[in-house]
Amino acid sequence: MSAEPPPRHASRAAARAERAARPRRVSVVGVLGELLLTAGALILLFLGWQLWWNDAIMASQQSAAASDLGAEWLEEGRAARGDAPAPDPAAYGDPVVGPATYDDGEAFAVMYVPRFGEDSQRRVAEGTGLNVLNSTELGIGHYPGTQMPGQVGNFAIASHRSAYGGGMHEIEQLQLGDAIYIQTADGWYTYRFRDFEYVTPSTVDVLAPVPHHPDLQPTDRIVTLTSCNPLYSTAERIIAYGVLESWQPSTAGPPAEIADVVATWGS
């Protein structure tokens, strides 16, 4: 009597068990694909850290450094005034202009733009190299050869719009008449925003004493803020112009509009 063949479902189960027991062959394409996926994930994590987390950390460090310097100058102004009453605004006279030159990387001013937020204060240092723009204590660079705060002509400065603290991250949000405060050891210079311009990176005549007209003799005291545009790109430059409205010496303290905010600096 011949043996009966095993049931069909038993044969299928045995075949599946045999295939499962065989070692899986690893293809080169599969390994390469997994490596590329891993590399892509790591790149995205790095970009996230660079553009957001590291940016936020550096912004906080730059703001704190600027607060400390601003508070130091405020204290010096109070000490110089002593018990005397605040000076009469009518006696301020023309803006005091500091030294024409500073060493590369030397901080000589603090910029505070309320439109950028209460913690937007940044030190302004001479030069626009990475030692200034990527610094944990600086962030705003002054173009060498352009004018100084309060001087007739063009006080031109630059900063990153994103990453490394993003000192001008909100530059496109400026509105007509917004204040741009510049503090130095001598006092406070209040500029008012006037208009925007978008130019190519090679359009350097925006830095002239009279922007785009280097042969003209300046009569206005202006500030020029420059940064990259659009956000996360270096394709062009966004330019924001402001005109000096007023100035007051350090012995008079900060402008009344920002006195409460400035009082928290250095604390």
Residue 18 lies in a domain: no
- Give the pLDDT confidence score for residue 163 in this predicted structure: 84
Range of the domain at 233: 53-262
- CATH number (domain holding residue 166): 2.40.260.10
How high is the pLDDT of residue 231?
85
Q: Return the amino acid letter for 146.
A: T
The domain tally of the chain equals 1
Asked if residue 70 is part of any domain, the answer here is yes
In a domain, 127, yes or no: yes
Q: What is the pLDDT along the chain (267 residues), one digit of tens a residue?
A: 555 555 555 566 665 666 555 555 656 666 666 666 665 655 655 555 555 557 789 999 999 999 999 999 999 999 999 988 888 888 899 999 998 889 999 999 999 999 999 899 999 999 999 999 999 999 999 999 999 999 999 999 999 998 899 899 999 999 999 999 999 999 999 999 999 999 999 999 999 999 999 999 999 999 999 999 998 888 999 999 999 999 999 999 999 999 999 999 988
Residue 206 confidence (pLDDT): 98
Residue 150 lies in a domain: yes
> Does 16 reside within a domain?
no
Cβ-count burial 206-222 (b if 16+ within 10 Å, e if not): bbbbbbeeeeeebeebb
- Does residue 12 belong to any structural domain of this protein? no
Q: Is residue 10 part of a domain?
A: no
Say what the pLDDT of residue 85 is: 87
CA dist 71 and 265 (Å) reads: 6
**C-alpha pair distances (Å), 166 with each of 59, 61, 77, 86, 200:** 7, 12, 30, 36, 20
Could you tell me if residue 35 is inside a domain?
no
